[in-house]
Amino acid sequence: MRQICTAEELKEKIIAAIDKVGRTTPSGKPIYGGRLTKKQLMTFPKGSYLVSNCYSSFDGKPMVDLQLGSSESRNQLWEDIKSAGADGRICYVFKDYDDYSTYLEKLYMWRGLQRLGNREK
């Protein structure tokens, strides 16, 4: 028996299939960087990874650091983002967690090289 899926589910499956074939290693580059709005939040692909550039003063972690689910769950997510004070702030969206992880590795490596260069001066 064939399983029937919604247009939204079909769209997500097609995007996932294209992404799977298109690239084998994480790029470490965000697919979006800019001010976070509700309208923008609703356009990111399911499974993409959202990170804000505002950090908690308690533990130093990003206020928003999560994988995006279905479009239906994003209204509540937007309310959570607003309550955290991350709405309207700069954020980055990555294709998936692997791209985000690669981005962090490159960032830490770059900062280490900068510190090493500053010691030599």
pLDDT digits (tens, 9 = 90+) for 102-113: 888 887 776 666
Structure tokens given for 13? 């499956």
pLDDT digits (tens, 9 = 90+) for 47-92: 999 998 877 778 878 888 899 999 889 999 999 888 888 888 889 9
pTM exceeds 0.75 for this model: no
Q: What is the pairing mode between strands 32-35 and 90-94?
A: antiparallel
Q: What is the pLDDT of residue 62?
A: 83
Q: What is the pLDDT of residue 26?
A: 61
Considering only CA atoms, give the Rg of the chain: 17
Indicate if the alpha-carbon torsion angle 14, 16, 19, 21 is positive or negative: negative
pLDDT at 20 > cutoff 70: no
Give how far Cα 87 sits from Cα of 19, 74, 80, 114, Å: 28, 13, 9, 31
